[in-house]
Structure 1
């Protein structure tokens, strides 16, 4: 049967994801069902399946919902270097931290982490689509900087992981433990500034 534009409208998709986020947060991935999600979203089960192949696809979509603008900002910085390496890295690091420290992303990560042992294949997909994809994009940015003669390294992917790790430091574990005090913007910028200095000391050509 042909799917109508109403069934596939962005508003309906957002409505489904809103209900799904609530159900996943309350029940976790295993106990949540598509029936419960449809009821919470106020749509039919058929409408949910018109938008999402299965519960896994719905869960993965929930992880990115609400953080698209931050992801787009980070990707734009990675894809359009200005030629000022130090300034670019500072902006990239700050955008990265704002993304991974966003309350919505941390909350959804904790929902899944509590039962990750039961669904290792889902964890692998989340890692591939999120963290690993980000590392690869960062590596491509660093490769362009290397081609311009600004950086020198043996492995761009390892260099990308180094930079991201220097930026995150202990911030990610702090927010996972609900220790958000002291993570204001000024401290975020200072953390990234230090990460950029250490990274360039190691990798500047």
Structure 2
């Protein structure tokens, strides 16, 4: 809808109301998950949140900005440990990677995240800004956070990594194979046992490739 694409400039005035912002985010998450980015309406989101559309645009510059905030919030909730990558011990990369992999696997298997992948793949030709927001707050952010940890592990001598971002991309990519494709196609998903086996093997392979030789 055209009115969802064009936002008025943000207004200055009273400080933001956290409860009102929470309602907007919850309504936006519900509509984006149920209808995808393209079909979700800012008018409908505003109605469900009990606010005006102008209020939404006072918090977010555009529909794309609201969508990006929803993706960022989801990543924060599921990947709390990775978002706080500075707290991970660079001298124990095996342990850290098990935690990171488990969190990422949870995110990659979430039906909400899979639904966003499905809807954006179908709209990629016409929804460039939405796809960019999804990439920026999803893959790009997670790869960058993991690369930062890998640089620290390399500096401590626990790993030997010449290209940390490439290595981070390779590690996370190991969780986007068969199980992820089955999820996108809405087929039976891997069970807990399969996920644990995948996690252990991914860490084993990564450490075999990058662990510092004794």
Paired residue secondary structure (1:138): helix
Q: Which residue of 1 aligns with 2:178?
A: 170
Paired residue secondary structure (1:194): helix
Counterparts of residues 14-33 of structure 1 (less than 5 Å): 14-33=22-41
User: What TM-score do you get using the length of structure 1 for normalisation?
Assistant: 0.85
How far apart in 2 are the matches of 1:180 and 1:75? Answer: 30
CA contact (8 A) 1:25 1:111 kept: no
Counterparts of residues 29-48 of structure 1 (less than 5 Å): 29-48=37-56
Cα distance, 1:88–1:65 mapped onto 2, change above 3 Å: closer
| 1:168 CA drift (Å) | 3.5
Structure 2: stretches of 5+ with no match in the other structure? 1-10
Root mean square deviation of aligned Cα: 2.2
| 1:57 CA drift (Å) | 0.8
Q: Which residue of 2 aligns with 1:197?
A: 204
| 1:67 CA drift (Å) | 4.5
Structure 1: stretches of 5+ with no match in the other structure? none
Paired residue secondary structure (2:158): coil
Q: Which residue of 1 aligns with 2:14?
A: 4
| 1:32 CA drift (Å) | 3.5
| 1:26 CA drift (Å) | 4.8
Cα distance, 1:168–1:24 mapped onto 2, change above 3 Å: closer
CA contact (8 A) 1:19 1:37 kept: yes
Note the alpha carbon deviations across 1:53-80, whole angstroms, 9 max, x for none: 111111212223445322222223x322
Counterparts of residues 106-185 of structure 1 (less than 5 Å): 106-184=114-192
How far apart in 1 are the matches of 2:191 and 2:151? Answer: 31
Q: Which residue of 1 aligns with 2:5?
A: none
